[in-house]
Amino acid sequence: MQPRCLEVASQVCFNGCCPSPILGFSEPLNKTSKPRNTSATCRQNFAKTTTSSIFPNTHFTNPESLPSLQESFNGFIKVYPQYSETYQVDQTREQEYNHLAISNHTCLDYIGIGLFSYAQLQKHGLDKQILPSASSPPPPPQNTQNMHVPFFSLSYKTGNLKTQLLHGGQESALESAMKKRIMSFLNISENDYSMVFTANRTSAFKLLAESYPFKTSRKLLTVYDYESEAVEAMIDSSEKKGAQVMSAEFSWPGLRIQSSKLKKMVEMKSKRKKMKRGLFVFPLHSRMTGARYPYLWMNRAKENEWHILIDACALGPKDMDSFGLSLIHPDFLICSFYKIFGENPSGFGCLFVKKSTVPILEDSLGSGMVNLVLAKKPLRLLDEFSGTDSDFEHLSKLGLQEDELDSSNSFSGPISSQATQSGRVEQGETSESQTTGATAKQKVSKTLEIVESGKPAEVMRQENGILEIECRGLDQVDSLGLTRVSNRARCLINWMVNALLKLKHPNTEEIPLVRIYGPRVKFDRGPALAFNLFDWKGEKVEAPLVQKLADRSNISLSYGFLHHISFPDKYEEEKATVLEKRVSGAKGAAKNKRKEKGDLGITVVTVALGVLANFEDTYRFWAFIAQFLDADFVEKAKWRYTALNQKTVEV
């Protein structure tokens, strides 16, 4: 049995018993204009107001004691009246992404930017879901994993990155239109930057590492508080070319950048005065903890003759508007896009290279670049597919890349046993190993069939003789603007942090259920959160188990690995209890000191709030986490898994 608060949250969008946050406001609740405070005042008062006004002087020790969704929402609006000014987001969600309401699915695992809306999928007759009516109960959610969203597919190619950037190649109308739309969305000038499409974020990092001149500019300096498959791929490639790899460290417990150490590495003197020191990889903020990093580090690196790579994959949809790209003018920039929020996490990566920097790259033949191919017919997955070689041969005859069947390691939807066995999941990244046919065959247990009744996904249009692509997901974010998007995310993530910290175990001198890593309530934190749960004995609940149980409640989470954590002397005793040694690599394999140090860290549960997230999403997540206050909850959940003939999760 779910706690009553979680049951109400799952029903509110259908029974209409109270105004549902999932539908939002038809207009702002408070139209009264108020004098605007200065930015400095807002930052000073924000954290104080949040902690003192949300459930003041209250702790929750029982999942049944949580206030209702409506009661919590009313309190939320009193603390954050500016949230009502973002009602257009709720209208967009209702009109363009109704599959979220139909499936009652909470998506807290999407990092990146969505290209298309779900309504575009419906418009072309590619989805036949029946919408619920007032007189009938909602239909059971369909398995969205079984629908291959067409729009476009990827065709892999091997080539020379430098040649591609200098001279380009044959570019389809789709690729040309998509490139222009993305560069316009990111405010990147075609006069200053060249761009290539890559299979994913990891491919972009690896592709750049294979072409960067590490033989002369020998250093690679990264600033990541978490393990990233993409960064590891870059490090492996750079070390093969003789690069000296360095990493920033993050101070416990707030996980802020250790400024003195990073400053020393950035300003380290080089013997070759006329050569660039190397590549400085900067992510702007952590896609796991939500910590934002000062832009001054890029300026300092530039002043000290580093090439700068900006990892923009974790940026909010409109963060580039406030970034000041023309002032920093990085040498390289990488970002990623997915197709549809809450429906299809597959997509592609983008590697931008400043045109004046292209000549320094080395000629290198590598894989990872892709062409975008406009799909002509929708493809549906059928349950009776056996996954044999002959079935995959049939797919190739249909012109479908096996890699198109792969999805991101972290996605909104039921978790497959294959994903479970793979271990850590990193938000928004497609595994590089998925590009092999063998892995694709392991992951796919269904087949594809052309649906003759469907129409082509017509996303191209011609205006004034110019071919354009309709990326309604990008259009909607553009119409919302930076202020609305940022304010909404700020309100939701800080309410979530504060609400989680109010959960305490009963009869244990109020031992907290949740430990948050990185920033807590903070005005300028990002919309991502890393945390762990601890039972009444103080023992950690394993992150993969939390993810599995969340999936049971139709809530999609991720988990990852925090590392490069530095403990000051006063926290030295805590270090032994906090850090864990990750088991990775082949037994007996030789490891260097850098890798051994990187294997020490913390496995954490992670959530990310996308632009379409609403208060009901955060409340449902909070109500789910509160169930761990029940000492028997985990054991009951494991018993249910066994009863349903599923594998028991070892804790």
Task: Report which of residues 428 and 244 the model is more confident about.
Answer: 244
Per-residue pLDDT, averaged over 240-248, amounts to 95
Q: Which two tokens stand for residue 518?
A: 């990185």
Q: Radius of gyration of the chain from Cα atoms?
A: 24
Among residues 586, 585, 612, 583, which one has the least CA distance to residue 600?
A: 583
Burial of 134 by CB count in 10 Å (0-12 exposed, 13-18 middle, 19+ buried)?
A: exposed
Model confidence over 131-190: pLDDT tens digits? Answer: 333 333 444 444 443 344 467 888 999 889 999 999 887 888 889 999 999 999 988 999
Task: Report which of residues 253 and 36 the model is more confident about.
Answer: 253
Model confidence over 420-434: pLDDT tens digits? Answer: 333 444 444 433 333
Q: How far apart are CA 613 and CA 618, in angstroms?
A: 8
Per-residue pLDDT, averaged over 385-410, amounts to 37
Q: Are strands 332-340 and 113-116 parallel, antiparallel or unpaired?
A: parallel
Q: Which two tokens stand for residue 423?
A: 């271990």
**pLDDT recorded at residue 145:** 39
Tell me: pLDDT of 246 over 80: yes
Tell me: pLDDT of 327 over 90: no
Tell me: pLDDT of 414 over 90: no
Tell me: pLDDT of 31 over 50: no
The DSSP secondary-structure symbol of 172 reads -
**pLDDT recorded at residue 29:** 42
Model confidence over 485-517: pLDDT tens digits? Answer: 889 999 999 999 999 999 999 877 768 999 999
**pLDDT recorded at residue 173:** 86
Backbone angle region of 16, left / alpha / beta, with phi > 0 → left and psi within -120 to 50 → alpha: left
According to DSSP, the residues that pair with 113 across neighbouring strands are: 337
Most confident option among 88-92, 372-376, 598-602: 88-92
Task: Report which of residues 304 and 137 the model is more confident about.
Answer: 304
Q: Over the chain, what is the mean pLDDT?
A: 77
Task: Report which of residues 484 and 400 the model is more confident about.
Answer: 484
Per-residue pLDDT, averaged over 374-394, amounts to 44
**pLDDT recorded at residue 343:** 80
Task: Report which of residues 345 and 18 the model is more confident about.
Answer: 345
**pLDDT recorded at residue 624:** 97
Which range is least confidently modeled, 93-97, 199-203, 643-647?
A: 643-647
Task: Report which of residues 49 and 209 the model is more confident about.
Answer: 209
**pLDDT recorded at residue 346:** 83
Can you give the pTM of this predicted structure?
A: 0.79
Q: How far apart are CA 25 and CA 84, in angstroms?
A: 7
**pLDDT recorded at residue 374:** 75
Tell me: pLDDT of 408 over 50: no
Contact 466, 107 (CB under 8 A): no
**pLDDT recorded at residue 170:** 80
**Percent of the chain scoring above 90 in pLDDT:** 46
Among residues 506, 492, 553, which one has the least CA distance to residue 64?
A: 506
**pLDDT recorded at residue 392:** 34
Q: How far apart are CA 359 and CA 476, in angstroms?
A: 37
Burial of 360 by CB count in 10 Å (0-12 exposed, 13-18 middle, 19+ buried)?
A: middle
Write phi, then psi, for 115 (nearest 5 degrees).
-85, -45
**pLDDT recorded at residue 272:** 58
Among residues 458, 374, 463, which one has the least CA distance to residue 172?
A: 374
Which range is least confidently modeled, 249-263, 357-371, 462-476?
A: 462-476
What is the band of 418 on the pLDDT scale with cuts at 50, 70, 90?
very low
Tell me: pLDDT of 478 over 70: yes
Contact 79, 59 (CB under 8 A): no
Contact 230, 335 (CB under 8 A): no
3-state secondary structure 31-59: CCCCCCCCHHHHHHHHHHHHHHHCCCCCC
Tell me: pLDDT of 13 over 50: no
